[in-house]
Structure 1
Amino acid sequence: MPNKPKTPNLHDELNFARFGVISMHSRIDQQITSWQTEFTVNGRTFRIEAITPVGRPHGIDTDTLVSLETLFVANGCPEDNWVHTTAYEVRELMGLANNGENYHRLRQSIRRLYFTSILVGRKTTLTRSQKVAWDNVGVRFLDGLRYRDSEDDGELSTLDSDATLSIRLGEQLAASIRAGISQVLDGQLLYQLEQPPARALYRTMQAHRRQDDGTLLSELRVPLTEWRQATGLTADRSDLVRRALEAAHQELIANRYLESAVIEGRGKKAVAHYTFADVNAADPVLVVLLRQAGVAVTRATILASRYPDRVETALQFLASRQRTVGSVRNPGGLVADFLERPDKYEILQEVVSPESQLQERRQLLKQQKVAAEHLVQQQADAHLEQLRAASPTEQWVAQRSTLQLMLKKHLSAAQWQELEALAQRGDILAVDLSSSLIEATAKSCLSDRIEQLKRHLSPLLAFQ
């Protein structure tokens, strides 16, 4: 996406991003018009059956779908699920050059998405039974399509750039976006990534690292056999999968999205291990305040991490606007736009003066922060209690990133492996360990707690 982005963020439905239907390949065998796959990533299992009469979606199809979803959100998520736009607007949002070839590529891309039908299965265990069953639902990217095209002298079908292009999103896709089951992709990063495979991999990776509570994993480990299917790679051999991923890995590292991308092991035992670049973690209290203002959870997390010093001003601006004009139709959108495009807004005088009013608003915001901190603590406590009821392995998976962040400078590789083995067996409970480390940090005795942990590990490892 070489052109300057028209929007800093792009919207993308989470479930469809995880299905792996759109292949990250730039080119694919279009004779394959149906396939079945089953894979598990980050504890979520998917069974996918797809029929693609004009070929499997791939390449720029990721950019096309994300652009259409973004336009759907920008138009207020209309109830009839239709997006009325032009090929010119979609191409601009995708960052493609304004030429006939790209209008042809966009036409082919939209048609691939329109003709694709998907059956998604979700694994479930029947009540009072050990039997595993699958709940299945048919979904589509697009349900309706109206466009005008033309043929040039070379008989290359291209979309009319200025004619109305009307696209109706699939019922489940639109309903899911409307319900907030979506992620906000970093538009600036997407436009910096030059190749479609890197953009497709970023979208897939971002969806799978997202936890149900909106937080993002700092690391993601996936068996390569599973990751191949999640990214839509069609090669069976691990060396070909590695080769297909390598260029995208390099781009994502170069653009500081990934800190490292390592494929460990060989053959069927190979594992893709991703460490995400350390961006400033969002203050959960600021996230709660933005959520209370109506900002979606993913976007609130991004905004809180990027503009922590301006969140208070943004909320004051919203309060001022509400007092001035009455109800604001989309308060979350106004706050987000204020943070992302400060030059558009003139700070009203009452936001900064008089001092007595400003002090009163600051006191109110302070009270809101206290309430938000209390809510965050309640949510964290409830989450820990829920995790304590989980199996040792599930606890380890959930707490591994936190533990690594606190322990990676203190434990050797062998000690870390020993800790992982003990935690997976249940000899050390990951939730209790992370809680004790956090408590030790607060009491300034973390080093003593770590030494105690080392003594708990096998004697040969404890003194490395």
Structure 2
Amino acid sequence: MAKKPKTPNLHDELNFARFGVISMHSRVDQSVTTWNTEFTVNARTFRIEAITPQGRPHGIDTDTLVSLETLFVVKGCPDDNWVHTTAYEVRELMGLANNGENYHRLRQSIRRLYFTSVIVGRKSSLAGTQRVRWDNVGVRFFEGLRYRDSEDDGELSALESEATLSIRLGEQLADSIRAGSSQVLDGQLLHRLEQPPARALYRTLQAHRRQDDGQMLRELQVPLTEWRQATGLTTDRSDLVRRALGAAHEELLANHYLERAVIEGRGKAAVAHYTFADVDAADPTLVRLLRNAGVTVARATALAGQHPERVEEALRFLEHRRAMQGGVRNPGGLVADFLEHPAKYDLPADFVTPERQREERTNRLGQQKVAAEQAAQARTEAQLDQLGAASPEVQWAAQRSTLQVLLKKHLNAGQWGQLEHLARSGEIGAVALTRELLEATARSGLPEQIGRLKRRLNPLLPAE
């Protein structure tokens, strides 16, 4: 994922995360529209029967569902279960790049989830008998859907980014979130994980490691045959299951969510073993930096875990002391003492902390950006002033490329042709239109301005 998360935490209903309906595969055989499975993880047994007319949910569908669940929570869990948002807001929360391909992918993802119907059975044994009881319930991810999409010169249908996107969560899903049966996912970790399978596996692991009392297991062991179904892997070939899990394991290990991930044994006897990393564990990079400064292994590990935000400052203080005194007899001891007893050290006037450096650099870059934007705006205004008295044909020729950039996502081919006709005839001034769109962009009013333009191009559109 390319973007930073807009929220540090994302909300996800706990039971749906355990059902394994959304496959961690990036691609699935879309011709398979019905399937059923049964698996046991952490002493919980589930039986899943699914109908998926648009193909089994997979890939970014995990991100789509979690983002919409999060918006449901952010908006106060509305009683009618509707989430009113925009494709732009959902895509931003998912961390996807802002382009037409991703609005197409989001459209397909929402439709897959909407069309999916599932009957879930929870297994229990009757005390004192050999009988097994199944409690079954039919569930839906979404029960209502309203959206606007568009096609441009034969391109794939994509959601319009600023149009209202309304999705009604399934009754069981919404009620469960409202009742508090949900988990909080680390948004920063999710957005560091680059591949959908790793994000899907993280969500599934978090759901299954959680005990009924809220405690989180430090280790989780699952037979591979069961884990394949719990993660939605559609192949029963052990080598392909291992390969699919292996790539996700590497990402989760690299991002310090997992401390250990191994698959032991062969065939039906294979077992997946997971050891989860301590959330308060020290960053290995910081430990290495402290070790290089002369701090002992045990002390470096402890200090990096306790004071991660001050390690860089301590190392810069060490370099400053070396420069002032020509050397330091016990550099490791000085760094450790600086971190443990900051009040002992009066920083010299010419010592600039890393935080102050970053702040000054951010301010400087911000000022440069503002100056550049102001200069560009001034040049644009001067050019528009010069063009204002030109003929409609000249105005259109000069502003056509700028208007394309501003309007490409919002006008279809017919609307663009109508705009060109009106601009060339002088009924719409290309220069005046450019000014209006730029001003609307600056005050975050572009959607309203484009709505007025569309109604001018087609008076039959309803007024808003």
Counterparts of 1:335-354 in structure 2, within 5 Å, are none
**Shift in Å at residue 124 of structure 1?**
2.3
Match of 1:189 in 2: 189
Cα distance in 2 for partners of 1:150, 1:189 equals 33
**Shift in Å at residue 263 of structure 1?**
0.2
Cα distance in 1 for partners of 2:180, 2:140 equals 18
Match of 1:247 in 2: 247
1:122 counterpart SS class: strand
Match of 1:178 in 2: 178
- 2:42 counterpart of 1:26: no
CA deviation map 1:231-257 (0-9, x unaligned): 000111111100011110000000000
Match of 1:56 in 2: 56
- Compute the TM-score of the two structures, normalised by the length of structure 2: 0.60
**Residue type at the aligned position of 2:137:** V
**Shift in Å at residue 213 of structure 1?**
1.0
Match of 2:198 in 1: 198
**Shift in Å at residue 13 of structure 1?**
0.3
Cα distance in 1 for partners of 2:105, 2:269 equals 38
Cα distance in 1 for partners of 2:79, 2:68 equals 15
- 2:238 counterpart of 1:238: yes
- The number of equivalent residue pairs is 284
Counterparts of 1:17-96 in structure 2, within 5 Å, are 17-96=17-96
Match of 1:13 in 2: 13
2:97 counterpart SS class: coil
Cα distance in 1 for partners of 2:255, 2:133 equals 42
**Residue type at the aligned position of 1:245:** L
Match of 1:150 in 2: 150
Structure 1 segments, 4+ long, off by >3 Å, are 126-129
Cα distance in 1 for partners of 2:191, 2:58 equals 18
Cα distance in 1 for partners of 2:256, 2:5 equals 18
- 2:159 counterpart of 1:159: yes
**Shift in Å at residue 260 of structure 1?**
1.0
Cα distance in 2 for partners of 1:229, 1:273 equals 16
Match of 2:266 in 1: 266
1:38 counterpart SS class: strand
- 2:219 counterpart of 1:219: yes
**Shift in Å at residue 152 of structure 1?**
1.5
CA deviation map 1:62-89 (0-9, x unaligned): 0000000000000000000000000000
**Shift in Å at residue 125 of structure 1?**
2.5
CA deviation map 1:365-415 (0-9, x unaligned): xxxxxxxxxxxxxxxxxxxxxxxxxxxxxxxxxxxxxxxxxxxxxxxxxxx
Distance 1:233 1:91, change over 3 A: same
**Shift in Å at residue 134 of structure 1?**
1.1
2:113 counterpart SS class: helix
Cα distance in 2 for partners of 1:20, 1:87 equals 25
**Shift in Å at residue 182 of structure 1?**
0.2
Flag structure 2 segments of 5+ consecutive residues without an equivalent.
282-304, 308-464
Counterparts of 1:271-420 in structure 2, within 5 Å, are 271-280=271-280
CA deviation map 1:332-378 (0-9, x unaligned): xxxxxxxxxxxxxxxxxxxxxxxxxxxxxxxxxxxxxxxxxxxxxxx
**Shift in Å at residue 153 of structure 1?**
1.3
Cα distance in 1 for partners of 2:172, 2:93 equals 23
Match of 1:384 in 2: none
- Compute the TM-score of the two structures, normalised by the length of structure 1: 0.60
Counterparts of 1:103-142 in structure 2, within 5 Å, are 103-126=103-126, 129-142=129-142
Cα distance in 1 for partners of 2:114, 2:125 equals 33
Cα distance in 2 for partners of 1:140, 1:11 equals 18
**Residue type at the aligned position of 1:141:** F
1:175 counterpart SS class: helix
Cα RMSD (Å) of the superposition? 1.5
**Shift in Å at residue 123 of structure 1?**
1.2
**Residue type at the aligned position of 1:56:** R
**Residue type at the aligned position of 1:180:** G
Match of 1:302 in 2: none
Cα distance in 2 for partners of 1:165, 1:216 equals 36
Cα distance in 2 for partners of 1:280, 1:93 equals 26
**Shift in Å at residue 278 of structure 1?**
1.6
Match of 2:320 in 1: none
Match of 2:2 in 1: 2
**Shift in Å at residue 127 of structure 1?**
5.5
**Residue type at the aligned position of 2:274:** Y
**Shift in Å at residue 126 of structure 1?**
3.5
Cα distance in 1 for partners of 2:21, 2:259 equals 27
Cα distance in 1 for partners of 2:105, 2:265 equals 38
**Shift in Å at residue 306 of structure 1?**
11
Match of 2:350 in 1: none
Cα distance in 1 for partners of 2:14, 2:126 equals 26
**Residue type at the aligned position of 1:102:** N
Cα distance in 1 for partners of 2:216, 2:84 equals 33
**Shift in Å at residue 2 of structure 1?**
1.7
**Shift in Å at residue 128 of structure 1?**
5.5
Cα distance in 1 for partners of 2:129, 2:187 equals 47
